[in-house]
Amino acid sequence: MNAPQVRPEAPSEPHVMQTYGRLPIALSHGQGCWVWDTNGKRYLDGLGGIAVNTLGHAHPRLVPALQEQIARLIHTSNYYHVPLQEKLAAKLCELSGLSTAFFCNSGLEANEAALKIARKYGHDRGNHMPEVMVFEGAFHGRSIATLSATANPKIHAGFGPLVGGFVRVPLNDIAAVRKALAEHPNITAVFLETIQGEGGVNPASIAFLQELRRVCDEHDILLMLDEVQCGIGRTGKWFAHQWAGIQPDVMPLAKGLGSGVPIGAVVCGPRAAKVMQPGNHGTTFGGNPLAMRAGVETLNIMQEDGLLANAARVGAELKAALQAGLADVEGVVEIRGQGLMLGIELDRPCGALLLQAAEAGLMISVTADRVVRLVPALILSSEEAAQIAAILCPLIKAFVASEAVKP
């Protein structure tokens, strides 16, 4: 297990802007929940492209469908009707119970559109200084507006002045929400991730979500649930808020919706469905036929193959295996999350585990410095879940044992 290994060398990339701290690994191809690097080494993929590769790699029904679409039509612009947009929008509305969808290309774009809806919702009612309530621990993207909505000071650093009009409160604290609403009568929307992803896999509690729904109805403001990471079946329901039996007014989606093809969507209920009017918002690439086909096929395959049930069942098995494998390991604070969105919080920074896991043949992520995050494809099998735990638990044990000094 701990045999010394030759660390792989980082490829030289002098022309790629250095915006990422990358592992010294380049991937060549994938199949299901497995990926291979350019040296032929195989990895079990517990990362799923950060909760993106819903159907895993090279899915046998997605690939031919996308090949057919590419040969037929990739892009046309929104000068024309794109029939696949209505197809995907109708499907998302059917699954969510909401009314209309706008399509874009990424998570931050979906959130940007949601923030514009929140502001226009205010302006439409004579509130020309609308504010949006956001939460501690939040991550909503890296555009100037969405990084301002994000709570992480590391993401703000160097990019001020931040966009104004945000009021930040602690998560799962309904008294703080009510107090902020009393102090800020211009708030037009409450905006949060149903389960915080980058913030360390922190769920909004079911009671909190239900209270937020009530409070937003009382004030006639928008409940906007960022399901960019936790949506699209990952928790075992189509959308994570469905566990609370509520509906948002605005729901940004992205990551898992195209199973790897870039896509974003904002799905709106009746209160927000008609806020945007012709000319208010748009995007060149958004809703193009290739991305729409990827969305439609992803949702259909998920349904045909029962992937929600699989995410719930295999996710519970993985969580149980992690709990068993890490029971009594000092340094493990909590194992949390739902379905195939799991976090293992340690009591110390653990970014070093990324490379150690990769060397042991497992792709993971570490977020919020101290949280190992697993967001694999929803096709993960019981055997693969057991393998993830079998690789990861001893690594974490050895890591906390070797890193004796806590910072």
Whether the Cβ atoms of residue 107 and residue 228 lie closer than 8 Å to each other: yes
Listing DSSP states for 140-209 in one string gives --SSHHHHHHS--HHHHTTSPSPPS-EEEE-TT-HHHHHHHHHH-TTEEEEEEESEESTTTSEEPPHHHH
Q: Whose structure tokens read 């211009």?
A: 186
Among 228, 261, 273, 344, binds ligand PLP (CB under 6 A): 228
Choose one: 80-88, 106-114, 127-135, 304-312; the region binding ligand PLP (CB under 6 A).
106-114
Q: Is 229 known as a binding-site position? A: yes
Is there binding between residue 107 and ligand PLP (CB under 6 A)?
yes
Q: Is 173 known as a binding-site position? A: no
∠ CA 160-197-149, rounded to 5°: 25
Q: Is 242 known as a binding-site position? A: no
Alpha carbon distance 168, 48 (integer Å): 31
What is the per-residue binding string for ligand PLP in 274-303, x denoting contact by CB under 6 A?
------------------------------
Whether the Cβ atoms of residue 264 and residue 178 lie closer than 8 Å to each other: no
Q: Is 142 known as a binding-site position? A: yes
Nearer to ligand PLP, 315 or 331 (CB): 315
Among 30, 122, 141, 231, binds ligand PLP (CB under 6 A): 141
Q: Whose structure tokens read 């994570």?
A: 240
Write down the least CB distance from residue 371 to ligand PLP, Å: 13
Among 85, 106, 235, 367, binds ligand PLP (CB under 6 A): 106
The CA radius of gyration of the chain, in Å to the nearest whole number, is: 21
| CA distances for 283 relative to 11, 89, 116, angstroms | 35, 16, 14
- Cα end-to-end span (Å), the chain: 26
Nearer to ligand PLP, 229 or 387 (CB): 229
Write down the least CB distance from residue 208 to ligand PLP, Å: 17
Alpha carbon distance 129, 143 (integer Å): 21
Write down the least CB distance from residue 193 to ligand PLP, Å: 5
Instruction: Give me the torsion for CA of 356, 359, 361, 366, rounded to 10°.
Output: 30
Is there binding between residue 229 and ligand PLP (CB under 6 A)?
yes
Nearer to ligand PLP, 244 or 400 (CB): 244
Among 57, 119, 120, 140, binds ligand PLP (CB under 6 A): 140
What is the per-residue binding string for ligand PLP in 184-203, x denoting contact by CB under 6 A?
---------x---xx-----
Is there binding between residue 241 and ligand PLP (CB under 6 A)?
no
Q: Is 218 known as a binding-site position? A: no
Q: Is 261 known as a binding-site position? A: no
Write down the least CB distance from residue 107 to ligand PLP, Å: 2
Among 85, 111, 235, 365, binds ligand PLP (CB under 6 A): 111
Alpha carbon distance 62, 377 (integer Å): 14
Question: Strand (E) positions, 72-114?
Answer: 100-104
Write down the least CB distance from residue 381 to ligand PLP, Å: 25
Reduced to 3 states, what is the DSSP secondary structure of residue 32?
A: strand
What's 98's DSSP letter?
-
Residues near ligand PLP (CB under 6 A) are: 106-108, 111, 139-141, 193, 197-198, 226, 228-229, 254-255
> Which residue ranges make up the annotated binding site for pyridoxal 5'-phosphate?
139, 226-229, 284
